């Protein structure tokens, strides 16, 4: 089996699974309980928070646990909008965001906010000048990805944040860093970032756990009411097994950050070299700023058909965002690519456990698919 769809989800690390089992079977008290079992669970919760905060480049008290990146993004966008509900100013995002941002922004537009979607350049970047042209004094929020989930583009968030705060100092800056965690060093304070979303299952933790950075001093309203956990921002009994697993995944991945990056960089270079020599007429899509995500098109080979061919040889990739469930990529359309490219796009995404054998298997299966589909 050759799993190359790590931007969709990753295999749970053994260390993370062990941490989850410990929290489920040994340290299983409710962190809000006042007896010894509850106090031990609370200690594990706060130690986990410290570990995740270190990976996010922020303080533990700025780190809130959620169920996933989508929830973190919804809390951020809807919370920021609520703070400016009487002003109903401008919200700026981009045409290449994850559905968690794009669909929430559209909902806020229906509620009366002015929402502007910035177009990327040909490589998938949002230029600071494009943002500058869109900024107004009544801008209340900017939301963008750090790393694009389909093409691996890294946005110039430091410059975007600086331009935002210079023109609209009261506006909030939200960054979707779901694909950036453990792939790009996270420095929200240097980026003038107020809110930042991450998700555990992209780095070897189980599904069902995410986190949200909220800049110290900023208070958002919760999406739901409950018992006051997570300082009232995200009420509900904390999912301690998932939280402990997330912390352990952060610990492992951050300890191996440089070695993992170098390994994935070698794999991406090897893939590009093999594609160029063995899959002629292939085109690469987007700037591909990080090596973890490589998006390519095989004109004449429909993505959904090629996926079935690859699956037959136990090679697992995707045609874009898993959340789009096979729909044609809006990201690639936003880049202005022709239909022949968007209809034949394949996303290969790496994790540290991948090897050159996985790349070789992909190339062999893709060559077979090209011969079948280009008759």
Q: Which candidate, 231, 215, 233, 214, places its Cα nearest to that of 223? A: 233
The reply to whether 150 and 241 lie within a common domain is yes
Q: Catalytic site residues?
A: 323
Q: What are phi and psi of 104, to 5 degrees?
A: -65, -40
Check residue 374 and give its pLDDT: 82
- At which of 220, 255, 290 does a domain end? 255
Q: What pLDDT, on a 0 to 100 scale, did the predictor assign at position 320? A: 72
> Which CATH number do you get for residue 63?
3.40.640.10
Cβ neighbours around 316 below 10 Å, total: 17
pLDDT of residue 326: 55
Check whether residue 269 and residue 177 sit in a common domain: no
Residue 355 is predicted with a pLDDT of: 98
**Is there a single domain that holds both residue 99 and residue 157?**
yes
How are beta strands 293-297 and 345-349 bridged, if at all? antiparallel
Domain boundary among 229, 255, 281: 255
Which residue matches tokens 């990976």?
55
Average pLDDT over residues 339-344: 95
How far apart are the C-alpha atoms of 230 and 368, rounded to whole Å?
Answer: 52
The 10s digit of each residue's pLDDT in 110-132 is 999 999 999 999 999 999 999 99
Which CA distances in Å does 171 have to 111, 129, 193?
A: 19, 18, 10
> How far lies 182's CA from each of 16, 73, 144, 251, 260, in Å?
15, 19, 18, 10, 9
What pLDDT score does 223 carry?
A: 85
Asked if residue 117 and residue 217 are part of one domain, the reply reads: yes
Domain with 222, as residue range(s), is: 14-255
Q: Residue 139: what pLDDT?
A: 97
Domain match, 244 and 287 both: no
The pLDDT, as a whole number, for residue 190 is 98
* Tokens standing for residue 35: 């007896």
The per-residue pLDDT for 373 is: 86
- Mean pLDDT score of the chain, rounded to an integer? 95
Residue scoring higher pLDDT (326 or 93): 93
Kindly state the average pLDDT of the residues 134-161. 97
Confidence of residue 85 (pLDDT cuts 50, 70, 90): confident
User: pLDDT tens, 149-159?
Assistant: 999 999 999 99
pLDDT tens, residue by residue, 229-287:
999 899 999 999 999 999 999 999 999 999 999 999 999 999 999 999 999 899 999 99
What is residue 108's predicted lDDT score, i.e. its pLDDT? 96
pLDDT reading at 323 higher than 80: no
Cα 37 to Cα 26, 31, 81, 279: the distances in Å are 9, 8, 39, 59
| pLDDT at 321 > cutoff 80 | no
pTM of the model: 0.96
Q: What percentage of the chain has pLDDT greater than the value 70?
A: 98
Task: Write the pLDDT tens digit of every residue in 170-194.
Answer: 999 999 999 999 999 999 999 999 9
How do residues 214-233 score in pLDDT, each as one tens digit?
Answer: 999 999 998 889 988 999 89
| CB atoms near residue 6 (< 10 Å) | 24
CA distance 118 to 108: 16
Quote the pLDDT of residue 87.
82
The CATH number of residue 303's host domain is: 3.90.1150.10
Residue 270 and residue 356 in contact, taking contact as beta carbons nearer than 8 Å: yes
On the question of pLDDT at 322 being above 60, the answer is no
Last residue of a domain, one of 228, 255, 282: 255
Q: Is the pLDDT of residue 325 over 90?
A: no
């Amino acid at each position: 089996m050759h799993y190359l769809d790590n931007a969709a989800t990753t295999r749970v690390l053994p260390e993370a699974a062990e941490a989850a089992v410990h929290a489920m079977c040994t340290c299983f008290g409710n962190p809000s309980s006042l007896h010894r079992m509850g106090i031990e669970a609370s200690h594990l919760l706060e130690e986990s928070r410290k570990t995740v905060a270190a990976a996010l480049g922020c303080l533990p008290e700025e780190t809130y646990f959620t169920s996933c990146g989508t929830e973190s993004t919804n809390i951020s966008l809807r919370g920021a909008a609520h703070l400016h509900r009487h002003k109903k100013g401008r919200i700026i995002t981009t045409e290449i965001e994850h559905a968690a941002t794009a669909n929430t922004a559209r909902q806020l537009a229906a509620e009366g906010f002015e929402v502007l979607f910035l177009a990327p350049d040909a490589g998938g970047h949002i230029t600071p000048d494009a943002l500058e042209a869109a900024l107004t004094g009544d801008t209340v929020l900017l939301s963008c990805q750090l790393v694009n989930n389909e093409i691996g583009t890294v946005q110039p968030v430091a410059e975007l944040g600086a331009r935002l705060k210079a023109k609209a100092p009261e506006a909030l800056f939200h960054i979707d860093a779901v694909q950036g965690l453990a792939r790009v060093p996270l420095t929200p304070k240097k980026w003038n970032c107020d809110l930042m979303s991450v998700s555990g299952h992209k780095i070897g933790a189980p599904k069902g756990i995410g986190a949200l950075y909220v800049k110290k001093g900023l208070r958002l309203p919760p999406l739901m009411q409950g018992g006051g956990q997570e300082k009232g921002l995200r009420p509900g009994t904390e999912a301690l097994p998932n939280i402990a697993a997330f912390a352990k995944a952060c610990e492992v991945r951050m300890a191996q950050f440089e070695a993992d990056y170098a390994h994935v960089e070698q794999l991406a270079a090897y893939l590009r070299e093999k594609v160029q020599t063995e899959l002629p007429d292939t085109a690469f899509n987007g700037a591909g700023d990080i090596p973890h995500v490589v998006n390519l098109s095989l004109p004449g080979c429909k993505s959904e058909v090629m996926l079935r061919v690859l699956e037959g040889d136990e090679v697992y990739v995707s045609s874009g965002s898993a959340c789009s469930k096979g729909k044609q990529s809006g990201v690639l359309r936003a880049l202005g690519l022709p239909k022949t490219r968007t209809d034949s796009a394949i996303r290969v995404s790496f994790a540290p456990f991948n090897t050159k054998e996985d790349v070789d298997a992909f190339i062999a299966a893709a060559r077979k698919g090209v011969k079948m589909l280009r008759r």
